Amino acid sequence: MINNVSANIPDRTSDLINDSNFVTSSQVDNRIQNIVGAAPEALDTLEEVAARLENDSDAINAINGVLSGKVNSSDVYTKTEVDAKIDEAITGGTVDLSNYYTKSQVDSKDS
């Protein structure tokens, strides 16, 4: 019984009905090279980038400067907190939401 089942399982991409969505290993290699190839040879691995950053305080300060401009997670609501606030407003009757569409109503208008 197992032999009959395994005989029907394709073992090559060309055996599949729709094999046009598969990429070859050379296509994958080319895509990786397009990303890595843009980096100078001295910085084309994560280890080389990490080593360079470790010894470059200006680069670290620049990265930290960009990151420090981002919002602190303690200053924003999570999705769960927003949902709870909406539920509280609806059930507590403190906010009139009758003039607003729900997500499903908006989504249904798109189709």
Rg (CA), the chain: 27
The pTM assigned to this predicted structure is: 0.30
Strand spans (E) along 20-83: none
Residue 12 covered by a domain: no
**Dist. CA 3–CA 9, nearest whole Å:** 10
Residue with tokens 């990786």: 32
**What residues make up the domain containing 37?**
23-70
What pLDDT is attached to residue 60? 83
Four-point Cα dihedral 80, 83, 88, 93, nearest 10: 170
For 64-81, write each residue's pLDDT tens digit. 888 877 777 777 788 888
Per-residue pLDDT of the chain (111 residues; tens, 9 = 90+): 454 555 566 666 666 666 666 778 888 888 888 877 777 777 777 788 888 888 888 888 888 888 877 777 777 788 888 888 888 877 776 666 677 777 777 778 765
Domain shared by 82 and 60, yes or no: no
Domain shared by 59 and 83, yes or no: no
